[in-house]
Amino acid sequence: MSSHAPVHEDAHEAHHGHSHGHEAGHGSLKSYMTGFVLSIILTAIPFWLVMAGVFESRAITAVFVIALGAVQMVVHMIYFLHMNTKSEGGWTMMALIFTIVIVAIALSGSFWVMHHLNTNMMPMSPEMMKNMP
């Protein structure tokens, strides 16, 4: 029995000694609180922009809301999902980049098709629109 004990201890240490490729540590209370506060701020600013009518143009307000939403997504990925270039050997970042590229291709293609359908459709008069089912 004594000959099996060192092998078992070595296997136990080897199992717990390596990190399975998880090089990004879990967040501390400070990092979670930083992410939480940033999320609150990045939610409150667009709410204030819309409710107070800071900009007269709705398009400018929409651009600011979308930009702050994108910043908030990055904050969530960094502080809550712990995504960085080191986690999982960089594969999580590569998966994120791949996802963004696929979404960009799908969205731009959809907008392109919708634009050309709209451009090439027969124009309708208001009377024709009234008779539509």
Looking at residue 84, the DSSP 8-state letter turns out to be -
Distance, in Å, from the CA atom of 25 to the CA atom of 11, rounded to the nearest integer, reads 24
pLDDT tens digits for range 23-39: 446 778 999 999 999 99
Token pair 């990092």 is found at 31
Distance, in Å, from the CA atom of 32 to the CA atom of 36, rounded to the nearest integer, reads 6
Q: Residues 6 or more apart from 26 whose CB is under 8 A from it? A: 82
What phi and psi values does residue 88 have, to the nearest 5 degrees?
Answer: 55, 30
pLDDT tens digits for range 53-112: 999 999 999 999 999 999 999 899 889 888 887 878 878 888 888 989 999 999 999 999
Q: What is the pTM of this model?
A: 0.58
If we measure between CA atoms, which residue out of 71, 64, 66 comes closest to residue 42?
Answer: 71
